[in-house]
Amino acid sequence: MTFTFLQKTFMRFALVGSIGFLVDLGSMLLLSIWLPPITARIGSFWLAASSNWLWNRRFTFQAQTSMQRSQQLRQWLHFLFCSTLSFVPNWGCYYLLIKLQPSASEFVLLWPYLAMIPGILIGLLFNYSLSRSWVFANPKA
């Protein structure tokens, strides 16, 4: 059985990001047992971004994965940097939507969660663009 949507790089990147969200959430829950929330959040972000890098290397951009260890370390650091940069438009969009919260009563309780969606999509597009054009770009191209 072939999943043709998985043949598209962007869809694989989004799938890896979804797995990364689960890694982020799960590690945040576990780390917050022993660490203050801010420290736990830093740790969970690092774990999720590292997981995403590894899966994107092996699953999304597998054609560009043959390299030496020092190059892999540099690629991982580039991915962490891009993930951090991608968080800025994600959070900025979320912050703006929270400030523009509709006054309709049916959205008041759901709005903080619904407002996450556009930011996540913007961050996804931003991170995918950086990953494809810089982090996982074919150095011979």
User: What is the DSSP annotation of 8-36?
Assistant: SHHHHHHHHHHHHHHHHHHHHHHHHHHS-
Assess if residue 13 is contained within a domain: yes
Query: How much is the pTM?
Result: 0.80
Number of independent structural domains in the chain:
1
Binned at pLDDT 50, 70 and 90, residue 19 comes out as: very high
Instruction: Kindly state whether residue 27 falls inside one of the protein's structural domains.
Output: yes
Closest by CA position to 114, among listed 127, 126, 102: 102
Q: What is the pLDDT of residues 71-104, one digit of tens each?
A: 889 999 999 999 999 988 888 888 888 888 777 6
pLDDT at 17 over 90: yes
Q: Are 80 and 127 in contact (CB under 8 A)?
A: no
Residue 77 lies in a domain: yes
DSSP conformation class of 59: I
> Is residue 141 included in any domain, yes or no?
no
The pLDDT of residue 28 is above 70: yes
In a domain, 120, yes or no: yes
2 in a structural domain? no
pLDDT at 25 over 60: yes
* DSSP designation for 104: -
The pLDDT score that the predictor gives to residue 80 is 95
Residue 95 located in a structural domain: yes
Domain residues for the domain of 115 are: 9-135
Measured CA angle at 39 (ends 132, 83), to 5 deg: 10
